[in-house]
Amino acid sequence: MKIFSKITNLRDEYPKIALALGMFDGMHLGHQSIVNRAIELSKEIGGYSAALTFQNHPLSVIAKERMPLAIGNSELRAEILKDMGVDVLIDIPFTKSFSRLSPKVFLLLLKENLAPHYVVVGKNYTFGEGGKGTGKMLLREGEHFGFKAEVCPTVLDAGKPISSTRIRALIKEGAIHEVTEFLGRPFSFVGRVVHGERRGRELGFPTANLKIEEYRAMFPNGVYAAKVRYNGKTYNGLVNVGDNPTFGGEKRRLEVHIEDFSKNIYNELIEVIFLEKLRDEKKFDSVNDLIAAIKQDRDTARKYLDS
């Protein structure tokens, strides 16, 4: 999959594009249905599948106070789209100037640079200044801009839409199994490893530390069994989400002990894949009690990691 950070002329390099449009935060089952339809259409016409999305949520520019927590990020979304078989990802920054484009100017940009044969969106997709562009407009105006539009039906669970809003609420509740079901895969957190207090190493359980930015969705504090992906390989992991109450409390972060791993990976990207919650975060009376609990957590985690 080739990635572009701006809308550029791809008409010659990628003729016959089937284009999926959306924010695709978290790439849940609803998003996957849209992307999969674009992939199907690209195969039908002997062309290429593409997705156009934004590096930052539009509300971060339009109304920052209403910006929702991010389920994923650009790196995770790109990895999922690549695994799905998308040929081209156009992952662009959403800016004030972009927010002022009228719907028809946006469609003209697509025509001039991508010349898509198909444009696929979800039922609630909007585009252009003030979100005035809709799926109905795409169906109505598509022929004028050289493409056929498809609006995918909403994917439902128990009669309710699978949506990013619904998944965010489930993450906040710690409903790990429901989140896994709606995402179509376990919840992942991708980030760069930062320096910590090195306490894990002193306790005999060295950890890789990740910041949990205020704009990122995260499960409640606690200990989790997880897989860790780094540099194309997957390892067993034990995750603590919290602020280390045994040591007086610090800023909330994610610490993951990676089994059978000793590389220095500071500032490297890793993906932490949450499989099961083992227990809530707890303040221990002594360091020895904490070490004993971590050993027990590791043994419990292996039941989920080795199955």
- Domain boundaries defined on the chain: 2-154, 186-305
How many helices, marked H, and strands, marked E, lie in the chain? Answer: 10, 16
- Catalytic residue, chosen from 112, 129, 250, 255, is 255
Q: Give the separation between CA 153 and CA 62, rounded to whole angstroms.
A: 27
Please name the residue that has the structure tokens 């169906």: 139
- At a CB cut-off of 8 Å and minimum separation 6, what does 157 contact? 181, 182
- With a cut of 50, which residues of the chain have pLDDT below it? none
213 is catalytic: no
pLDDT confidence of residue 251: 80
Tell me how long the chain is: 307
Asked if the domains 2-154 and 186-305 are classified in one and the same CATH topology, the answer is no
Q: Provide the pairing of β-strand 126-127 with 133-134.
A: antiparallel
pLDDT confidence of residue 221: 95
Please write the tens of the pLDDT for every residue from 87-125. 999 999 999 999 999 999 999 999 999 999 999 999 999
Q: Pick from 276, 270, 186: which is nearest to 229 by CA?
A: 270
Q: Give the separation between CA 268 and CA 287, rounded to whole angstroms.
A: 29
DSSP states of 60-93: HHH-GGGPPPBSS-HHHHHHHHHHHT-SEEEEE-
pLDDT confidence of residue 202: 54
- CB 46 within 8 Å of CB 40: no
Q: Which fold is adopted by the domain 2-154? A: Rossmann fold (3.40.50)
Q: Which fold is adopted by the domain 186-305? A: Elongation Factor Tu (Ef-tu); domain 3 (2.40.30)
Range list of H helices, the chain: 29-44, 59-62, 74-84, 96-99, 103-113, 135-141, 164-173, 176-183, 199-203, 287-305
Q: Give the separation between CA 157 and CA 6, rounded to whole angstroms.
A: 35
pLDDT confidence of residue 112: 97
Token pair recorded at residue 45: 């016409």
- Give me the residues paired with residue 243 across strands: none
Q: Give the separation between CA 163 and CA 204, rounded to whole angstroms.
A: 41
pLDDT confidence of residue 2: 98
